[in-house]
Amino acid sequence: MREIVFDTETTGLDPAKGDRVVEIGAVEILNLIPSGRVFHVYVDPERDMPEEAFRVHGLSREFLSQHKKFAEIVGEFIDFIEDSPLVAHNAEFDVRFLNAEFALQKLPPLSPARIIDTLAMARRLHPGSPASLDALCQRYGVDLSRRDKHGALLDAGLLAEVYAELRGGRQAALSLATVSVSRRGAQTGDLLRARPEPLASRLTAQEEEAHRAFITGLSKAPLWDRYQPRKQESGEQPPSAA
């Protein structure tokens, strides 16, 4: 299953008051495993950068003015996410900002049906416990050493690891990936083809004799003979069906 884990950075907390998106980071995951495909852009917000927001992400007005405006990158973003489910932490915040940007471009909003909020998932799984991204990384042993400031792509990568844990852990994710690969292989005929000629036995005559002696000493009617009768030795009576 393809999903997109994403995060945004903004100039503030409320798009209705003129705050804008300044960074988008998105990570493609297939059956909870990052595929290696990412989307990352800085965005010129066409406005100043409040000091409070700058302290969070460190993106200055001067730096952002050298990058494309949202109208110039929105097509690439839509192409990347396609119609896949979208995973975000405190998704209402990020989706509200993206939908405000879409509205400025006269584009339809993201459907709530495709949004997965990991904050809500964490609160259901761990009621009463801290549910910030930092707290969840610490709970699940996700390395936070790279994170000195918020960054959309970095946070999306961390969230992809946390999301896998919220969905059952890394082992569950690996199992899902294995099943997916096996099914694709089966469809293309790449897996488990029958050998044209059976392999020759590697047992020596001594090993076969030792095996026969061992079986004879167990019982005249081993349980497995009910399902796969062994070869009858000379003078040996067939096993009882009892």
Active-site residues: which are they? 150
DSSP reduced 3-state for 229: coil
Q: Which amino acid is at 72?
A: E
User: What are the φ and ψ backbone dihedral angles of 26, each rounded to 5 degrees?
Assistant: -140, 140
Between CA 45 and CA 204 the distance in angstroms is 78
Q: CA-to-CA distance for 55 and 60, rounded, in angstroms?
A: 10
Euclidean distance between CA atoms 20 and 235, whole angstroms:
91
Strand partners, 23: 9, 42
Distance CA 239, CA 236 (A): 9
Query: Which of 12, 93, 7 shows the shortest CA–CA distance to 47?
Result: 12
CA angle 154, 158, 159 (to 5 degrees): 115
Element (H, E) at 9: strand 2-10
